[in-house]
Structure 1
Amino acid sequence: MRQKLIITLTTVRGSKQYTLNQLAKYLVGLFLLLSALSFFVSNLLLVKTRDHLNGLAQEKLMLEEQYIEALGTQQSYMKNLIELSELFTETFYEKYQLENEKYQLEEEVIRLDADLNEMESILGIIPSPEQPASPEERTDLLKAAALQRLFLLHSIPNGLPVKGAKISSGFGERVHPISRRRSQHNGIDFPSPIGTPIYATADGIVERAGLESGSGFGNLIILQHNFGFKTFYAHLNEIKIAQGQYVHKGQLIGTVGKTGRVTGPHLHYEVRHLLTPLDPYPFARWGLSNFDYIFNAVEDIPWESLSAIYPLNQAGPQ
């Protein structure tokens, strides 16, 4: 007889007995059922997971495309940012240059205004506070005044005929160094070494150039100038111009000597107006920086008539 294992299960409803064979059948059936259920559940989860993975893959592709697009946009932004930075740097540099140029122009305007004020002061021009002129108008007025004054300074003797020389004998009465008698000295004497250059003190024409015998002048140059003025240069060693020649102010006309009645080498210099000898000293001091000086220092000249012939500016003779 086969041995069977009998399992008795007791519940409130009673007791049941199962043999092992029956239990095994149940367990196998249950296992198969669970296996089938697990298979279907696993397949379902697998399908869902695969779909989910496919979705994730698509999202990954979309994200990668968006990333590439964003990266390109970022690079474009970076390029634009670099261009903007370069443009800003260039603009800032141009702004700095313009500010620097503006500052330099302001300084130049200040210097120009100071120069104009100085020139107006030198030329005796008094700007009108009621009607202030522009720098261009002030410059034009200064040019006109300067041309007028330069014309007179080139027409009327002024400055020194010998550079750096001192005066040894002035204009007026004196004891003559040779005759020892009191006599009129019609010029001023500049003692200088023989050969020292002598320059014309105004534009003019050579009236005389040569030895003046019997006068004591020795070698003499006489220049005719505008408005009736003449200048005399006596006791010369050399004469470098000829009679009838035109000369300009500052031109070399001769050299210092000791010809004629002299005790030593020097230049005897005279200024005459309509044959009347004038003291050359005020004319030697006269120049652009003290233009008004001559009109008060020399009273023997009818300056008012000169003003009528060639109108001066506001600082002209009164």
Structure 2
Amino acid sequence: MRNYFTVTISDVHGSRHYSFKHFFRKFAWGVLAVFFLIWGVGAFSLWWLASEAQELETQNAQSVVAFNKTLKKTRSDYERLLDEKQALEADLEQKSAEVAFLDQSLQGLERLVGVDAEEPEKLPYVERVKQVQLNTLGKSIMLNMIPSGHAIANYKGLTSKFGYRNHPITKERHLHGGIDYRSRTGGDVIATADAVVQYSSYSKNSGFGNLVTLLHPSGFKTRYGHLSQRSVKVGEVVYKGQKIGEVGSTGRSSGPHLHYEVWFLHHRLNPQPFAQWTIEKYDGIFEKVKGVPWGSLSLRVDQVVKKVEKQLSQKVVLSAVK
């Protein structure tokens, strides 16, 4: 019986005895050992997997927090960039409107001063502005050195034009060699171009009473008669628009007004085209007024403008070098 072992089970009904070979005992212990081994490995695996899951959950929570933070910053950056984009678009729209307005204004100036370049809009703005400036400079020089505009500060119309008429006092028909400006006594009389005062006195023989004569560059001369008082002296240099006297009724005059004459060398000219000569109506006078060498005068002015252009170019070059 050495190869057997006995298992006794007792209960209320008595005892029962079971005999087994030792092999089965060994087998049972092996099964128990395998069971406990599997249970131990399983328990360890479950503990390890739980730890890994906990660590992964912690990492996931940290990743979610980091992602939310990055997402919040990205959303904030996006909103900021969107605001900047809208601001830039609004600024660009405003700048575009300003450029369009400036372009229209520049076109108006080009038409005003007579810049007749072909398709000027294809030129750089700097070059277009330069052309306007130089063209304006040339015309301004011409308008300053040759009588232009009205000889009275507060223009209210004319009472008599240039040409033959019956004198209001003598009633004799004769050439009225100037134009008469309507004005009250004391109205400001102004020089119509840069000049030197050639005459400033009471002229009894001419009938003009208080008379001022200005000698302008390039052979022009203007006369201002019937003044109530004179504001300049012989030899004094005056500029265009400067007050030289006040309207009156001295000499042979039927009432307060300004008698104004324009001369070129020894030839009397109709002052009305000169009075209407402005930068807006620049070219008309060249056809209306004959006997004046407009070509040579314009050539002289162009030479001055080219000299100024050259000086400006040299300044730009020097600025670029510095």
- Quickly say closer, same or farther: Cα 1:164–1:131, change in 2 above 3 A: closer
Q: Does 1:180 align with 2:171?
A: yes
Measured in 1, the distance between the counterparts of 2:85 and 2:120 equals 37
Q: CA deviation at 1:68?
A: 2.7
Q: CA deviation at 1:121?
A: 2.1
Measured in 1, the distance between the counterparts of 2:172 and 2:238 equals 37
Measured in 2, the distance between the counterparts of 1:46 and 1:131 equals 97
- Quickly say closer, same or farther: Cα 1:217–1:54, change in 2 above 3 A: same
Q: Does 1:282 align with 2:273?
A: yes
Q: Does 1:123 align with 2:123?
A: no
Measured in 2, the distance between the counterparts of 1:126 and 1:290 equals 15
Q: Confirm or deny: 8 A CA contact 1:154 1:249 kept in the other structure.
A: yes
Measured in 1, the distance between the counterparts of 2:222 and 2:242 equals 14
Amino acid at match of 2:92: K
Q: Can you give the 5+ residue segments of structure 2 that lack an aligned partner in the other structure?
A: 1-10, 18-33, 306-322
Counterpart selection for 1:66 from 45, 51, 56 = 56
| 1:260-271 map, 5 Å | 260-271=251-262
Aligned to 2:184: 193
Q: Can you give the 5+ residue segments of structure 1 that lack an aligned partner in the other structure?
A: 1-20, 28-43, 314-318
Q: Confirm or deny: 8 A CA contact 2:223 2:262 kept in the other structure.
A: yes
Aligned residues: 281
Amino acid at match of 1:164: Y
Q: Confirm or deny: 8 A CA contact 1:156 1:202 kept in the other structure.
A: yes
Measured in 2, the distance between the counterparts of 1:307 and 1:200 equals 22
Counterpart selection for 1:237 from 228, 239, 251 = 228
Aligned to 1:291: 282
SS of residue in 1 equivalent to 2:99: helix
TM-score, normalising length: structure 2:
0.76
Range with bigger deviation, 234-243 or 224-233: 234-243
| 1:135-154 map, 5 Å | 135-154=125-144
Measured in 2, the distance between the counterparts of 1:173 and 1:73 equals 105
Summarize deviations over 1:57-79 as a string: whole Å, max 9, x none.
Answer: 65444434333322222222122
CA RMSD of aligned residues (A): 3.2
Measured in 2, the distance between the counterparts of 1:287 and 1:51 equals 110
Q: CA deviation at 1:94?
A: 2.6
- Quickly say closer, same or farther: Cα 1:263–1:130, change in 2 above 3 A: closer
Measured in 2, the distance between the counterparts of 1:54 and 1:252 equals 114
Measured in 2, the distance between the counterparts of 1:295 and 1:309 equals 16
Aligned to 2:5: none
Measured in 2, the distance between the counterparts of 1:198 and 1:131 equals 43
Aligned to 2:3: none
Counterpart selection for 2:156 from 162, 165, 177 = 165
Summarize deviations over 1:98-135 as a string: whole Å, max 9, x none.
Answer: 33333333333333332333222223332235995332
- Quickly say closer, same or farther: Cα 1:85–1:51, change in 2 above 3 A: same
Q: Does 1:111 align with 2:110?
A: no
Counterpart selection for 1:258 from 241, 249, 273 = 249
- Quickly say closer, same or farther: Cα 1:56–1:251, change in 2 above 3 A: farther
| 1:36-55 map, 5 Å | none
Q: Confirm or deny: 8 A CA contact 1:127 1:133 kept in the other structure.
A: no
Counterpart selection for 1:272 from 263, 275, 281 = 263
Amino acid at match of 1:261: R
Q: Confirm or deny: 8 A CA contact 2:191 2:241 kept in the other structure.
A: yes
Q: CA deviation at 1:171?
A: 0.7
Measured in 2, the distance between the counterparts of 1:52 and 1:164 equals 116
Q: Confirm or deny: 8 A CA contact 2:155 2:181 kept in the other structure.
A: no
Summarize deviations over 1:146-165 as a string: whole Å, max 9, x none.
Answer: 11111001111111122222
Summarize deviations over 1:23-67 as a string: whole Å, max 9, x none.
Answer: 24459xxxxxxxxxxxxxxxx999998987776565444434333
Q: Confirm or deny: 8 A CA contact 2:162 2:270 kept in the other structure.
A: yes
Measured in 2, the distance between the counterparts of 1:199 and 1:48 equals 123
Summarize deviations over 1:256-307 as a string: whole Å, max 9, x none.
Answer: 1111111111111111111321111111111000110110110121212323
Measured in 1, the distance between the counterparts of 2:229 and 2:147 equals 21
Aligned to 2:82: 92
Aligned to 1:80: 70
SS of residue in 1 equivalent to 2:169: coil
